[in-house]
A and B are shown apart, each in its own frame.
Chain A
């Protein structure tokens, strides 16, 4: 069931390390091997219980796996009285709502394509006009998408103004995050290049709003992408960038560490918090369990996708802050607003192993305490 999305071991490059603030600040205290005192005796060397306890603790429960656990809504159909009700619901959802939605979506696509293709091909000279029309059309098709899941979206906060040197960041639960935000105002997104029909969409239509692609499994890719980001953010006429600094979809109850890339572009950061209402559907796209098509179908056969979007106060890098601290500060703002718990892990650990730096730190502290105690009488 695991997709071949670089699920194999990738040697952790030093670039992954540079992104992370100090993990030791987050891990529960007592996570380093104990610092006992007194003369070193045999029982001290043989007693490996603290390390073993940590390992067993990680086996039994760990904060990283919790971030990617799907949380489907509680089933309520287990009762003779409620079951027929639920069954009616299923019938309505699958046999009435779903076909209607498919029709709505098809109509939307027809309208979109019949406008987009001519605009794209014929208005090549009128650059500005073409851009504006394409943007409006993309917003339109996104609205159709949202309608096809009966999206009920509450937007809070002032609508973003289009200014240069502005970058938007949001927490990431599913690819539909982008569609929901794009519906309101045109963004340029940086996304992982997907295979299949999504990839086709990405390379044709989304190009028109100025999207940037990256490939997670390529190490060199990072530099090229950073350059593209910088160029785009400086451009006056480009759509503002929308970045999901977590780098991967998380289950909307936790937030993983933000990558610092978006925070060192020298732009104002406008945080956006997105929270889905789980009662209606679990919008988390668990890419390990579902393909995007299945995910969309699941959304289209639910009652509704209800979510809150908060546009939060723009933030700037403070003079005494590093980009990583800035990223964590913004993550804090978003997590508080959307009710997410923060965990100290890098989202890319889904695809690769943690660096040996953490283990070495533990080893070093234990080694030092052994040598120190050896000297004591």
Chain B
């Protein structure tokens, strides 16, 4: 595709930067654009699920399918916004919001027991039985003051995860 950064104007970069709330520096956005173009092999303006899965490191990740649902069809601006939760400049609140979105697959602002069970299933595969998973989840929920029927919202997640020293950062390579 040639020199891709010449396709981004200063105006484009600033627009993207604004959209992600200044999570990335202008140089990082240029790097991310090069990466986006590298992944978007057919040049369609968005990276398809197949193209993400062609990165072996991503394909072997247990949560790849869940993330693909959030990533599929994003254009570059949305791609950067998606990654902004992983910037060192992102707040803990933003990181927790991202985690909440991963759980809340139907996007209704509420995480139910089955949502949490599904994620646990992705993380543990066939190495814990379905029954055991339910038991474990119910037990820790009750110990934390919730139960199987609880509907967790964003503020609950903040309460649960806010104090655990969340480390969720990725470095964007800048040439």
Contacts and interface: CB of A to CB of B under 8 A. Distances in A.
B140 A41 contact: yes
Given A42-B160, A69-B38, A360-B125, A63 B61 contact: no
B42 interface: yes
A349 interface: yes
B144 interface: yes
Contacts of A33: 123
Nearest to B119: A48
Interface in A27-68: 33, 40-65
Given A41-B140, A55-B63, A60-B172, A49 B57 contact: no
Contact of A53 (B56, B60, B64, B170): B170
* Chain B residues touching A, range: 35 or more
A45 B164 CA distance: 12
A33 B78 CA distance: 28
A47 B137 CA distance: 13
A367 B124 contact: yes
Most chain B CB neighbours (cut-off 10 Å) among A50, A51, A57: A51
Contacts of B123: 33, 48, 51, 363, 366-367
Contacts of B83: 56, 59-60
A363 B62 CA distance: 7
Interface in B110-152: 116, 119-120, 123-128, 132, 136-137, 139-141, 143-144, 146
Interface of B: 3, 32, 35, 38-39, 41-43, 52-53, 55-64, 67, 71, 83, 86, 95, 98-99, 102-103, 116, 119-120, 123-128, 132, 136-137, 139-141, 143-144, 146, 157, 160-161, 163-164, 166-173
Interface of A: 1-2, 33, 40-65, 69, 75, 288, 345, 349, 353-354, 358-360, 362-364, 366-368, 370-371, 374
Which 5 pairs across A and B sit closest by C-beta, in order of nearness?
A: A363-B125, A367-B127, A58-B57, A42-B144, A367-B124
